[in-house]
Amino acid sequence: MVDDRALLLALLDAAVDAIIVSDRDGKILRLNKAAAALFGHSTEALTGQNVRVLMPGEMAARHDRFMRHHLETGEKRIIGIGRDVEGQRADGKVFPLHLSVGRADIEGEVAFVAILHDQTRRKAAEEAAARSQRMDAIGQMTGGIAHDFNNLLTVVIGNLELLEMSETAEKSRVLISDALEAAELGADLTSRLLVFARKSALQSDVIAMNDAVSQSLAMLKRTIGPHISVEASLADDLWAARADATQLQTAALNLALNAQDAMPGGGRIVLETRNVTLDDSYIAQEIGVGTGRYVRLSVSDTGEGMSSEVRSHAMEPFFTTKPTGQGTGLGLSMVYGFVKQSGGHLTIYSEPGQGTTVSLYFPALIDAMEYLNAAETDDDAQSQIGSGQLVLVVEDDPRVLRLSEARLLSFGFRCVTATSGDAAWDILKDRDDITLVFTDLVMPGKMSGHDLAKKIARHKPQVRLLMTSGFSEGVLRGGRIGAEFAILRKPYRQADLAKALQAVLDDR
């Protein structure tokens, strides 16, 4: 006969969503592994605690009053009705949840069962879709305005030129010349708006990306101030791509000049080219880009970086963080429009105080069958390199954490996870069975991924380490963050991860 208690425990731990059982006072009686992982605690640490520890301050303060009201009146505000709320992880990070609560009356005792589903991925997808729709709407509006304004400027410029030809008075000619110059500046402004709106005519051709970048580099070294070094890291085996070479050079210049503005005290700009393959796991995190092989141009700096709020608006026309009169806010929006019109994609990776990497992805000109055959070869090469070894995965983004854990499990590793450098070190201090730590570079809390890596090297040198980051390789290798450790650049494929893991393990 099946033991009911054992069956209940098995059902709890088999559930993908978090399940928490509490008494009438909010004391946690039982929880499953998914709940502990979701909130970044151990099951032992949470058992016996009040559910308030899993809530942000304002919600925690109201919780007891809500429960007391329900027990006294029987009124159901959440019970039996799903609701979107917020949870708080062990590292203090607040995240979106969908909460369903059920009540059970057993032998005069009241118990509550909460089922919680992490909404982080859905919210991120909604925000990305909304951002994409906003950019499209702004593009359509901007394109229409620019087109009409160009027609007006054509009339203005044409009539001014005719007037200039017939006018003999020197004073009038000077006024006409000034008006023509202003009108031509207006025409240049509208042409840049049309690039953002993807309505300008591009002279696309098969280009050698490295040659175009080298030409931009030569111009930049004459333009950028002496307090900033400009470097290049160009891949030798770069695939061919199709783009407008002039627009590409203009885009590189725009990005480099933006980078210069972010480093008033000096720093480094790195232009980097690489071949990359975007697979389904990357597509799940980005909107508007197809799977396949791309040529990537990254322009990176070691400057002030951007907040998440600034990043979300950075590609919109006329958005600028520069003082009034020092920028139009069209540089990055023009680059975005050019890349999109070329069939590519643009990403921004930035952290306040750490710098920024803007990456442009252009579809590589490679036969589709060659791409599929290469993908099959990559899959065949992914052997069980883990052999049951234990890996500590450290990542604050829950989507990336789940993906990283799934990838490592597929290699035959076992995994434990942490959502901050501080939490990871707490785990490492008490365990000697962890073979490798796979950590993001920039983490919340007092201890960044880089700080964690240095502490591991100093106190636990037997533990192997692999870091990952969205910053360009040139900045990481030559900069102040993570240069002394093995680093895997995001986005990466399963085969790239396998190769990096094998190299780190072999280094023992």
pLDDT at 428: 93
State residue 405's pLDDT score. 87
Q: What is the DSSP string of 307-352?
A: -HHHHHHTTSTT---SPTTS--S-HHHHHHHHHHHTT-EEEEEEET
The alpha carbon torsion through 305, 306, 311, 316 (nearest 10 deg) reads -90
d(CA 301, CA 480): 12
Cα–Cα distance, 418 to 56 (Å, whole number): 20
Residue 381 predicted with pLDDT over 50 = no
Mean pLDDT value of segment 93-97: 87
pLDDT at 267 over 50: yes
Amino acid at 108: G
**pTM greater than the 0.75 cutoff:** no
pLDDT in tens, 161-194: 777 777 666 777 777 776 777 676 566 555 555 5
Q: What is the pLDDT of residue 189?
A: 56
pLDDT recorded at residue 468: 86
Q: In angstroms, rounded to a whole number, what is the distance separating the alpha carbons of residues 217 and 211?
A: 10
Q: What share of the chain is helix, strand, coil (3-state, %, to 5)?
A: 45, 25, 30
Beta pairing class for 292-301 and 267-278 = antiparallel
How far is the C-alpha of 356 from the C-alpha of 425, rounded, in Å? 27
Instruction: Give the pLDDT band of residue 434 (cuts 50, 70, 90).
Output: very high
Question: Average pLDDT in the 412-421 region?
Answer: 91
For residue 415, name the pLDDT band (cuts at 50, 70, 90).
very high
Q: How many CB atoms lie within 10 A of CB 239?
A: 18
- C-alpha span between 302 and 474 (Å, rounded): 11
3-state secondary structure of 116: strand
Q: Where are the beta strands (DSSP E) in 365-452?
A: 390-394, 414-418, 434-440
Pull the structure tokens for residue 335.
């680059």
